């Protein structure tokens, strides 16, 4: 009698699990209707860009001109004192990740 109950319980639970899993599988396989296919996005020509300096929108011609200017005149270098301080801060951060108990000592 116990054996029959066990088989019935196993069969019912496996049927319930199968039905539950099957209902969401159909919906999850389809992308949203408003989603643009990747093939179309790859062939799209981008006519607007953003400035790498301040993030303002630029036209394609302005963006090309700005890129040429940035290549001719690179941004100014940081002073050696500031570079040393940045290096020490990065070193401190790395050491604190390895040795978190040093945070209480510093």
Specify the pLDDT at position 86. Answer: 93
Name the band, by pLDDT with cuts 50, 70 and 90, for residue 105: low
Gap between the Cα atoms of 82 and 9, Å rounded: 71
* Tens-place pLDDT, residues 20-50: 766 555 556 677 778 888 888 888 777 778 8
User: How big is the chain by its Cα radius of gyration, in Å?
Assistant: 30
Tens of pLDDT along 48-86? 788 888 888 888 888 889 888 888 876 678 888 999 999
Contacts of residue 48, defined as CB under 8 A and 6 or more positions apart, other chains included, come to 57, 58, 59, 60
21 Cβ neighbours under 8 A, 6+ residues apart: none
Q: What is the pLDDT of residue 1?
A: 81
Partners of residue 50 on adjacent β-strands: 57
- What pTM, to 2 d.p., does this model score? 0.33
């Amino acid at each position: 009698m116990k054996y029959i109950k066990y088989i019935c319980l196993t069969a019912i639970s496996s049927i319930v699990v199968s039905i539950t899993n099957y209902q969401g599988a159909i919906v999850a396989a389809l992308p949203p209707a408003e989603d643009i296919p990747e093939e179309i996005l790859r062939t799209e020509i981008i006519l607007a860009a953003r400035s790498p300096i301040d993030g303002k929108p630029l036209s394609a011609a302005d963006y090309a001109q700005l890129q040429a200017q940035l290549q001719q005149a690179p941004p100014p270098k940081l002073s050696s004192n500031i570079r040393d301080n940045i290096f020490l801060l990065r070193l401190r951060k790395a050491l604190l990740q390895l040795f978190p108990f040093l945070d209480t000592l510093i």
